[in-house]
Amino acid sequence: MITDDFIRALPKTDLHVHLDGSLRVETLIDLARSRHVALPSETPEGLCEKVFKPSYSSLEEYLQGFSYTTAVLQDPEALEQAAYELALDNIAEGVRYLEVRFAPQLHVNANQDMDVVLAAVWKGLERAEREHAASDAVLLDEEPPFRAGIIVCAMRMFTRDFSAYYRNLAGSLTELAPRQMAGVASVQLARSAVRIRDRLGTPIVGFDLAGQEDGFPAVDHADAFRYAHAHFLKKTVHAGEAYGPESIFQAITALYADRIGHGYHLFAPDLITNPAVPDPVDYVNDLAQYIADRRITIEVCITSNLQTNPHIGTVANHALQKMLDAKLSVTLCTDNRLVSHTSVSREIRLAVDGLGISEDELRNIIIYGFKRSFFPGDYREKRAYVRKVIDYYARVVASQTALQDREE
């Protein structure tokens, strides 16, 4: 029996969680008040009614709340606090490895550059790492330490204000079309990420592409991902969230994706639009087999998908079941803890209850998260860490089994 206490006790990962979508709602209110940012409501209840809703009509509506969270994260202190609290919230529910992603460009302003932005986020994460490392459980080697890394997100498209920032940065961009400008901006981000990782030691572990898929194809950002690939920066791409299998194919072939964010529409041949594809069903099957064979892990976000794709209806209809049937490597993630009102433990609970995930399947999903992480250390260190996690997982299972035997 997979109880809530058992889920909470298990060592877990979150490989797909956005910093600006995961603030504590009380912190958002406090930061907005102290930084004079207007909100639709100044109470948690009001914000959850007007902005952070239980369900949304579309991905576009889902993303509207980010205009408020991003607005309050425009100084180092706010960024550090948000990162620190996110780490604490994860530690409290048993998450032991966390990859926080965000678009640092959205936080660059006259008072802080890219270096400052990323340093502030890492300062918060590192503080949580140090505090947990000093706990008795870690010092006595009773459980794995908490580790974290940063994934920087390039954007498929920008608002007018954000495009203006890049026009000021490089006047040559003024004549570019919006899609071209986004591609150039992604290259600049990739170069900055590699420089900050290598020269400052900030654990930037991955490069991502986020934003609206439809009308903003991944190939526009191929140069940026080639740069990341050439400099050993791992890649994950939002794909198949609001568009079809072709988006996932582009992420893998043009952007060298090591992992796929969401991938919900992988098994949707009806969404293929390229007339050159003779048999959409065969195309989907071949793509799924390629992903399975290469162990390209899919970062599954159940609640987020249910919120932005209302037609799914229930967890039982989620594509996760098809992914498991195809023996794909998957891991369960939150996407946005605030916007989706969720946690890793809740996502696991949904999978167990909605799809009948077994203990063996759950173990595979969780261990895949650790194994396919972009761990901020060398491979030998990662192997030792994963081994420690697996051993701890076994102890939690043994403790659960002993408890159940006593109760019977």
The catalytic residues are 241
Asked if 310 and 55 touch (Cβ cutoff 8 Å), the reply is yes
What's 126-143 look like in SS3? HHHHHHHHCCHHHHCCCC
How wide is the angle at C-alpha 101 spanned by C-alphas 100 and 102, nearest 5°?
130
Structure tokens, 380: 């030998």
SS3 228: helix
Residues 6 or more apart whose Cβ sits within 8 Å of residue 151? 99, 100, 101, 204, 205, 206, 207, 208, 236, 374
Q: Where is 96: in which H helix or E strand? A: strand 95-102
Q: In degrees, to the nearest 5, what angle opens at C-alpha 362 toward C-alphas 384 and 266?
A: 100
Closest residue by Cα to residue 52 from 342, 350, 346: 342
Listing DSSP states for 346-405 in one string gives HHHHHHHHHH---HHHHHHHHHHHHHTS--SS-HHHHHHHHHHHHHHHHHHHHHHHHHHH
Strand ranges across the sheet with 12-18: 12-18, 95-102, 147-155, 204-210, 234-239, 259-262, 297-300, 330-332
Phi-psi region of 327 (alpha: psi -120 to 50; beta: other; left: phi over 0): left
Cβ-based neighbours of 397, under 8 Å, separated by 6 or more: 359, 363
What b-and-e string marks burial along 333-359, b requiring 16 or more CB atoms within 10 Å of the CB?
bbbbbbbbbbbbbbbbbbbbebbebee
Q: Give the count of beta carbons closer than 10 Å to the beta carbon of residue 15.
A: 29
